[in-house]
Amino acid sequence: MAQKKQIKSTPQKIQKPKQSALPTFKLNIWFAVISALVGFLLYANTIKHDYVLDDVGAITGNEYVMDGIKGIPKILSVGMWHFDNVNLGYYRPLSMITFAIENQFFPKNPHVSHLGNVLLYAITGFFLCLLLMNLFKNFHPVFAFIITLFFIAHPIHTEVVANIKSRDEILAFLNLTIGLFLLLFAYKNPKINFKFIFLSCIFFYFALLSKESAMTGLLIAPLILFFSYNISIKQALLKTIPFALMILIFQFHKYEVLGSLSGQIPKDIVNYPYTEAGAKLPTTFLIFMHCIRLVIFPHPLTYDYSYNQIPAGSFSSGLVLIGFLIAVALAYFSFKGLLKKSILALGVLIFCVTLAPALAFVFLRGGILAERFLYAPSLGFSIVIVFLIMQFTKSNLQSTDLKLSQLSQYSKFIIPVLIIFSLYSFKTFTRNPVWHDNMTLFSTDVNSSPNSCQVRRHYGSELINLGIAEKDPQKKTEWFNKGTGQMKIALQINPHFGDAFFKLGVAYQTVKVNNDSAIYYYTRAIQEAPGYAISYNNLGILYETTGKQELASYYYNKAVDVNPFFAEGVRNRDNHKKKTGLDIRMFPTSTNLDSLENTTPEKNRDYNFYYKLGTDFASKGDYTNAARCLEKSAAMNPSFVDALVNLANCYGMLKNYNKNIEVLNKVVSLYPNNIQALGNLAVTYELLGNKEKSEEYRDKVRELSR
Average pLDDT estimate for 20-45: 90
Tell me the range of 377-386, 551-560, 671-680 where mean pLDDT is highest.
377-386
Choosing from 388, 403, 429, the residue where a domain stops is 429
What is the share, in percent, of the chain residues with pLDDT greater than 70?
94
Q: pLDDT (tens digit, 9 = 90+) per residue, 49-78?
A: 999 999 988 999 899 999 999 999 999 999
Q: pLDDT (tens digit, 9 = 90+) per residue, 158-212?
A: 999 999 999 999 999 999 999 999 999 999 888 999 999 999 999 999 999 999 9
54: number of Cβ within 10 Å: 15
Q: How many domains does the chain have?
A: 2
Within-domain flag for 578: no
Within-domain flag for 329: yes
Structural domain of residue 667, as residue ranges? 593-706
29-44: b (≥16 Cβ within 10 Å) or e: eebbebbbebbbebbe
pLDDT greater than 80 at residue 630? yes
The letter for the amino acid at 438 is N
| Mean pLDDT computed over every residue of the chain | 90
Within-domain flag for 666: yes
Within-domain flag for 461: no
Choosing from 414, 429, 444, the residue where a domain stops is 429
Q: pLDDT (tens digit, 9 = 90+) per residue, 113-148?
A: 999 999 999 999 999 999 999 999 999 999 999 999
CA gap 208, 627 in Å, rounded: 49
Within-domain flag for 179: yes
CB-based contact 501:533 (threshold 8 Å): no
CB-based contact 33:419 (threshold 8 Å): no
Q: Which residues contact 292 (CB under 8 A, 6 or more apart)?
A: 326
Question: Nearest to residue 57, comparing CAs of 92, 78, 84?
Answer: 84
Q: Which of the residue ranges 128-142, 153-167, 413-427, 598-612 would you say has the lowest mean pLDDT?
A: 598-612
On the CB side of 674, how many CA atoms lie within 13 Å of its CA? 21
Band (pLDDT 50/70/90 cuts) for residue 590 is very low
Within-domain flag for 166: yes
- What is the CATH classification number for the domain harbouring 601? 1.25.40.10
Cα 472 to chain centroid, rounded: 38
Within-domain flag for 298: yes
Torsional sign, CA 609, 610, 615, 617: positive
State residue 332's pLDDT score.
93
Q: Which of the residue ranges 14-23, 164-173, 529-538 would you say has the lowest mean pLDDT?
A: 14-23
State residue 689's pLDDT score.
81
State residue 686's pLDDT score.
83
State residue 701's pLDDT score.
80
Choosing from 406, 429, 452, the residue where a domain stops is 429
Name the residue with higher pLDDT: 96 or 614: 96
State residue 15's pLDDT score.
46
State residue 706's pLDDT score.
62
Average pLDDT estimate for 667-681: 88
DSSP 558-602: HHHHH-TT-HHHHHHHHHHHHHH-----SPPGGGSHHHHHHHS-G
Within-domain flag for 562: no
pLDDT greater than 50 at residue 505? yes
Average pLDDT estimate for 531-543: 92
Band (pLDDT 50/70/90 cuts) for residue 594 is low
Q: pLDDT (tens digit, 9 = 90+) per residue, 82-116?
A: 887 778 889 999 999 999 999 999 999 999 999 99
pLDDT greater than 60 at residue 17? no
Question: Nearest to residue 150, comparing CAs of 359, 416, 407, 430?
Answer: 416
State residue 67's pLDDT score.
94
CA gap 58, 180 in Å, rounded: 29
Q: Which of the residue ranges 14-18, 352-356, 428-432 would you say has the lowest mean pLDDT?
A: 14-18
